Chains A and B, each alone.
Chain A
Amino acid sequence: LAKTTQPISMDSYEGQEVNITCSHNNIATNDYITWYQQFPSQGPRFIIQGYKTKVTNEVASLFIPADRKSSTLSLPRVSLSDTAVYYCLVGDEDDMRFGAGTRLTVKP
């Protein structure tokens, strides 16, 4: 099971682009990379998932280098409402586990 390492916390300002990097040196061939967002007292919300290269949706982009040992979640032009905990998960279909997450604080 690939273990993930993310920064414990990050600060940003409204309107900036935020990049959160996750390290997963032991990622396996079948593992996906998934990011979730969680607000206090709510369940996590799926943001984006990828296997390799770049994935983009209406909310974020996910950049995965060729060796897949890390990934970067990119949030364009953050707002105050993006203040939350962001989790990087790595695993296959039968085993995905949450780490401690990155607490992002967006300031005005």
Chain B
Amino acid sequence: DAGVTQSPTHLIKTRGQQVTLRCSPISGHKSVSWYQQVLGQGPQFIFQYYEKEERGRGNFPDRFSARQFPNYSSELNVNALLLGDSALYLCASSFWDRGREQYFGPGTRLTVT
């Protein structure tokens, strides 16, 4: 079975630009969560969607937004990019709500210059 897939793998953007990251969950999983991981730190929770509804939001500015589609795939959008947004963005899917077993994708490495 295919795992969680994310695209693109790597991305380079300039300050002030906008970026859209995509995630496809494991088949049958209805929950998708997004995390930001800065080098040397643990993943920080950004958003969770379950059955296409936002179920949780971390401590991130309004420049970050997300949505989940009817096929349970998801997009994370970041506007007005800052240098500090450079990180590995991880998507995780779960059959349950976020607290239960989550399966992570390989991540998208975003570099803001």
Question: Which residues of A are in contact with B by a Cβ distance under 8 Å?
Answer: 32, 34, 41-46, 49, 87, 91-101
Contacts and interface: CB of A to CB of B under 8 A. Distances in A.
Interface stretch (B14-22, B36-44, B64-72, B78-86): B36-44
Contacts of A101: 42
A34 B97 CA distance: 14
B90 A43 contact: yes
Given A95-B56, A97-B45, A101-B42, A41 B101 contact: no
Interface string B71-113: 0000000000000000010111000111111111111010000
Contacts, number: 58
A94 B56 contact: yes
Contact of A93 (B41, B88, B99, B103): B99
Contacts of A43: 4, 90-92, 104-107
B98 A44 contact: no
A34 to B, nearest CB: 8
B99 A91 contact: yes
B41 A44 contact: no
Given A32-B100, A93-B96, A98-B42, 4 more contacts: A43-B104, A43-B107, A46-B103, A97-B44
